[in-house]
């Protein structure tokens, strides 16, 4: 039973149905000048347009090899503009956070905005650090750790009121398909999404680039993707990605209602446990993620015990040889012992209420067994 759906999802079977046929029809090189090559190129453009019309916003969409790459492209791609200062949040995914640290190490003026106890950007800290010389901001839309939702349109308007030329990027990987996303409303300049979080395949992501924003490519070569991402396009992955984006928008309300039902069932269930726990995900967060800590437990041990029962959950914390760390929870003010006992449980549209019952039974047994051992 898979409850780590914020890390990845299984490709929807219906999206794989025409893959063999598509492979026959569209295996040609989209860069070929012959008619078959042009047909593939046109098909890719159709997929791109489908994605753009689901995202909203006036701009283009660049296919990349992952959302990690799209985030890197968004940040590194603006550097040619002699950016004076760059602002990130403490909650960012490593694909943004580590890129920011790398820039800081290289001598760029990089600052991080703190999170509040709900896991969203602390608006007072943002206003203080968002000075006139900040030329680039990257703040994620939904946290991959807690599901906390940043008010991106408000942050964009605050940022632009201070520096109207600031470029605002948001990592929307955990937002698209979980909450309503409309890039016209958000008014961001750059926005990242990933296919494998929305029942598409791994190894493909993309970056929305608002009209008028110019970027420098990270990968040079044959000039595909309007010169922004060279390399022969993966038309089959693009096909699945576009269909996944369309379905995620079409089924948003249905999927959210189902996932909310599962989440509430889980939360009611753990209330009957004999064990103290704390939640770091809140009512108005994205519904699919629950960040939870069990008092006195080490998350890794619980995770391994669940694994022995074929129940797979996520570990919010990264273990180094010295300690267990979670930058995001720590920046929310979560205590060290809670960080050590933190699990990330994340649901998909394919989880069932019966699976939640089994998860609860198993989790209860594992936590009780664990506590008996350590007491
Ligand atoms: N950004 C966020 C918020 C994520 O959760 C992830 C994946 O976990 C990524 C970026 C990276 O996505 P990908 O696996 O497509 O590189």
Residue 8 alpha carbon to ligand 1 centre in Å? 9
Query: For a pocket test of ligand 1, which of 145, 197, 346 has the largest count of ligand atoms closer than 8 A to its C-beta?
Result: 197
Confidence (pLDDT) at 275: 79
Average pLDDT of every residue of the chain: 94
* Eight-state DSSP code of residue 4: B
Task: Give the tens place of pLDDT for each residue, 267-324.
Answer: 999 988 877 899 999 999 999 999 999 888 889 999 999 999 999 999 865 544 455 6
371 against 260, higher pLDDT: 260
Residue 229 alpha carbon to ligand 1 centre in Å? 18
Query: For a pocket test of ligand 1, which of 143, 145, 191, 194 has the largest count of ligand atoms closer than 8 A to its C-beta?
Result: 194
Confidence (pLDDT) at 374: 67
Task: Give the tens place of pLDDT for each residue, 82-135.
Answer: 789 999 999 999 999 999 999 999 999 999 999 999 999 999 999 999 999 999
Beta strands in the chain (DSSP E): 2-3, 59-64, 85-89, 109-113, 134-138, 167-171, 190-194, 205-210, 277-279, 289-294, 312-315, 318-319, 324-325, 342-346
Structure tokens at 246: 């369309």
Q: Between β-strands 134-138 and 167-171, what pairing exists: parallel, antiparallel or unpaired?
A: parallel
Please measure the distance between the N-terminal and C-terminal CA atoms of the chain and give it in whole angstroms.
29
Confidence (pLDDT) at 296: 83
| Residue 149: C-alpha distances to residues 155, 173, 253 (Å) | 12, 12, 17
For ligand 1, atom 8, which residue shows the shortest CA distance?
7
Q: What is the three-class DSSP state of 166?
A: coil
* 372 a catalytic residue: no
- Cα-Cα-Cα-Cα torsion 291, 293, 297, 301, nearest 10 degrees, comes to 0
Q: Are 140 and 112 in contact (CB under 8 A)?
A: no
Confidence (pLDDT) at 321: 46
Residue with tokens 């998350």: 299
Structure tokens at 41: 């190129």
Confidence (pLDDT) at 375: 62
Q: Are 286 and 175 in contact (CB under 8 A)?
A: yes
pLDDT over 70, % of the chain: 96
User: pTM of the entire structure?
Assistant: 0.96
Q: What is the three-class DSSP state of 343?
A: strand
pLDDT band at 369 (very low <50, low <70, confident <90, very high): confident
Residue 278 alpha carbon to ligand 1 centre in Å? 25
Structure tokens at 314: 């996520």
For ligand 1, atom 5, which residue shows the shortest CA distance?
144
**Which ligand 1 atom minimizes the distance to the CA of 7?**
8
Buried b (16+ CB within 10 A) or exposed e, 154-193: ebbeebbeebeebbbbbbbbbbbbbbebebeebbbbbbbb
pLDDT band at 22 (very low <50, low <70, confident <90, very high): very high
Residue 173 alpha carbon to ligand 1 centre in Å? 6
**Which ligand 1 atom minimizes the distance to the CA of 71?**
10
Residue 5 alpha carbon to ligand 1 centre in Å? 12
Residue 198 alpha carbon to ligand 1 centre in Å? 11
In the predicted structure, residue 364 carries a pLDDT above the cut 70: yes
| Residue 330: C-alpha distances to residues 145, 147, 193 (Å) | 12, 16, 26
Catalytic member of 47, 54, 297, 319: 319
For ligand 1, atom 7, which residue shows the shortest CA distance?
7
Q: Ranked by mean pLDDT, which of 61-70, 267-276, 360-369 comes out on top? A: 61-70
Question: Residues near ligand 1 with C-beta < 6 Å?
Answer: 7, 66-68, 71, 93, 95, 140, 144, 171, 173-174, 194, 205
Query: For a pocket test of ligand 1, which of 94, 95, 140 has the largest count of ligand atoms closer than 8 A to its C-beta?
Result: 95
**Which ligand 1 atom minimizes the distance to the CA of 143?**
3
Task: Give the tens place of pLDDT for each residue, 141-178.
Answer: 999 999 999 999 999 999 999 999 999 999 999 999 99
**Which ligand 1 atom minimizes the distance to the CA of 194?**
15
Residue 374 alpha carbon to ligand 1 centre in Å? 35
Query: For a pocket test of ligand 1, which of 4, 88, 93 has the largest count of ligand atoms closer than 8 A to its C-beta?
Result: 93
101 against 371, higher pLDDT: 101
Q: What is the three-class DSSP state of 135?
A: strand
Least confident of 191-205, 227-241, 316-330: 316-330
């Amino acid at each position: 039973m898979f409850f780590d759906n914020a890390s990845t999802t299984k490709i929807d079977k219906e999206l794989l149905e025409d893959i063999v046929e598509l492979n026959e029809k569209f295996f040609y090189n989209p860069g070929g000048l012959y008619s078959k090559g042009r047909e593939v190129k046109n098909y890719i453009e159709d997929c791109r347009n489908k994605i753009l019309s689901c995202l909203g916003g006036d701009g283009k969409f660049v296919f990349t090899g992952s959302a990690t790459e799209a985030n890197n492209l968004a940040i590194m791609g603006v550097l040619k503009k002699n950016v004076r200062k760059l602002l990130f949040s403490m909650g960012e995914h490593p694909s943004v956070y580590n890129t920011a640290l790398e820039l800081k190490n290289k001598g760029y003026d990089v600052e991080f905005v703190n999170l509040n106890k709900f896991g969203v950007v602390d608006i007072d800290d943002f206003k203080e650090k968002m000075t006139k010389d900040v030329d680039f901001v990257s703040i994620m839309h939904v946290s991959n750790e807690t599901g906390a939702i940043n008010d991106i349109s408000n942050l964009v308007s605050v940022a632009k009121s201070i520096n109207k030329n600031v470029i605002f990027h948001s990592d929307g990987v955990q937002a698209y398909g979980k909450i309503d996303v409309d890039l016209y409303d958000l008014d961001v300049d750059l926005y990242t999404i990933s296919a494998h979080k929305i029942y598409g395949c791994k190894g493909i992501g993309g970056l929305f680039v608002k009209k008028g924003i110019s970027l420098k490519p990270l990968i040079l070569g044959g000039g595909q993707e309007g010169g922004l991402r060279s390399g022969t396009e993966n038309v089959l992955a693009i096909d699945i990605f576009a269909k996944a984006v369309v379905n995620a928008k079409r089924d948003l309300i249905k999927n959210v209602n189902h996932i909310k039902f599962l989440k509430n069932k889980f939360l009611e269930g753990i209330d009957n446990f004999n064990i103290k726990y704390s939640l770091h995900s809140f009512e108005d967060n994205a519904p699919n993620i629950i960040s939870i800590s069990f008092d006195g437990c080490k998350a890794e041990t619980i995770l391994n015990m669940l694994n022995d029962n074929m129940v797979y959950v996520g570990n919010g914390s990264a273990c180094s040889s010295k300690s267990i760390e979670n930058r995001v929870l720590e920046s929310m003010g979560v205590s060290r012992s809670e960080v050590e006992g933190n699990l990330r449980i994340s649901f998909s549209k394919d989880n069932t209420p019966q699976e939640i019952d089994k998860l609860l039974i198993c989790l209860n047994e594992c936590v009780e067994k664990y506590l008996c051992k350590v007491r």
